[in-house]
Amino acid sequence: MTIRMGYWDCPSCGNKKNLGPNPTCSGCGRPRGPNIPFYTDDSAPVVEDPALVAQARAGADWKCKYCNADNRAGVMDCHHCGAGPDGSVRRQEKYVALGPPPKKGVDAKIIIAIVLGVLGVLGFGIWFLFGRTTSLSVTVESAAWVKSVEVEQKELKRDAAWQDEVPANARVVGKETKGRSKKVQEGTKKVKVGRKDLGNGMFEDVYKEEPNYVTKQVDDTWVRYEVEVWEKKETLKEETTDGSEPKDPASRFKPGGDRRLGKSQNAAVFQLKGSDGKRYTFEVDVDKEGAGAVTKYQIGKSYTAKVNTLGAVLALGP
């Protein structure tokens, strides 16, 4: 494992980048205190000298309880005042995870600004089309209570896909071997994930084994298959215009092995004529609002509609 040189900055004289293992400042000669942090980066030299490597491996420095100077592990007398390590406190070894690698080329801040800009424009667009409303005077031309239900039919769909992408419930019709470029794992690779502050002015790079993926041209199986899907076939509908509840359209449904009921709707549907001469539709969910919704707006009467940019009525009020 790679040992790397660390540094520390002197708070007394401001001297930067004192070599990590040095216990005194090369600028003013004062001893490094136990709270002075070490730092390093990938450009710091790799420690190769066997004596220094052994020192790095020996453990964290200890703090002299009399003068606060940092001392190397294994040294029995404080380099500053000569006291022994009896009852002294050692520095902590610390693991520091590496952040994501810096993006090359475009600055991350610029990307964030672009993303925020696009989101802002999209948000405005969605609001402009769906949310922005104008008030319009409308007259109710007709009112209906509509119940509908979709009928779906099971159908056999033919499709084809690579073997590992075929749906689980598919029935295989045919197979053939074809070339395909595919990501496959080939051994592992060492990835640097962080470094350990050894507490003595040196650092150790920390690696992890990760799967190594390569794109390869491989022979794979191309599968033709049939799969059952439910497709919408028709919509059964019952409608009244006198305020009475329509029959349940599902009562006309003839159950069979390959047919089933799908989505249903129970709505009051109002046809409106706007003061702009255009016609609009307003629907109220009766399941949600109750049967009173059907007679809430009367034919021939005028109301105020909130109409969005796409011409949909979002609300109808007095």
Please give the residue ranges that form the binding site for Zn ion (CB under 5 A). Answer: 10, 12-13, 15, 25, 27-28, 64, 66-67, 69, 78, 80-81, 83
The CA angle 26-30-33, to the nearest 5 degrees, is 110
CA 165 to chain centre: 24
Q: Find the shortest distance in angstroms from Cβ 87 to Zn ion.
A: 12
Query: In this complex, which beta carbon is closest to Zn ion, that of residue 62 or of residue 303?
Result: 62
Please state the closest distance from residue 20 (CB atom) to Zn ion, in A. Answer: 15
Instruction: Provide, rounded to whole angstroms, the least separation between the CB of residue 74 and Zn ion.
Output: 16
Q: What is the four-CA torsion angle of 154, 160, 162, 167, rounded to 10 degrees?
A: 0
DSSP string, 172-203: EEEEEEEEEEEEEEEEEEEEEEEEEE-SSSEE
Q: Minimum CB separation from Zn ion for residue 92, in Å?
A: 20
Residue 318 near residue 309 (C-beta atoms within 8 A): no
Q: Which is nearer to Zn ion, 8 or 303 (CB)?
A: 8
The whole-angstrom separation of Cα 70 and Cα 32 is 6
- Residue 15 CB, shortest distance to Zn ion, in Å, is 4
Residue 43's CB is within 10 A of a number of other CB atoms, namely: 6
Nearer to Zn ion, 85 or 199 (CB): 85
Of 10 and 313, nearer to Zn ion (C-beta) is 10
Beta carbon of residue 45, minimum distance to Zn ion (angstroms, whole number): 22
Angle formed at CA 82 by CA 55 and CA 33, multiple of 5 degrees = 60
Beta strands in the chain (DSSP E): 3-5, 7-8, 18-19, 62-63, 70-71, 89-90, 94-97, 133-162, 171-197, 202-240, 259-274, 279-285, 302-308, 313-317
Q: How far is CA 243 from CA 268, 291, 297, 300, in A?
A: 9, 9, 11, 15
Comparing CB distances to Zn ion, the nearer of 80 and 147 is 80
Closest to Zn ion by CB, 10 vs 138, is 10
**Of the two residues 11 and 123, which places its CB atom closer to Zn ion in the complex?**
11
Which residue number, 84 or 246, has a Cβ lying nearer to Zn ion? 84
For residue 6, the minimal CB distance to Zn ion (Å) is 17
Q: Distance (Å, rounded) from C-alpha 302 to C-alpha 138?
A: 5
Min. distance of Cβ 61 from Zn ion in angstroms? 12
Q: How far apart are CA 280 and CA 273, in angstroms?
A: 6
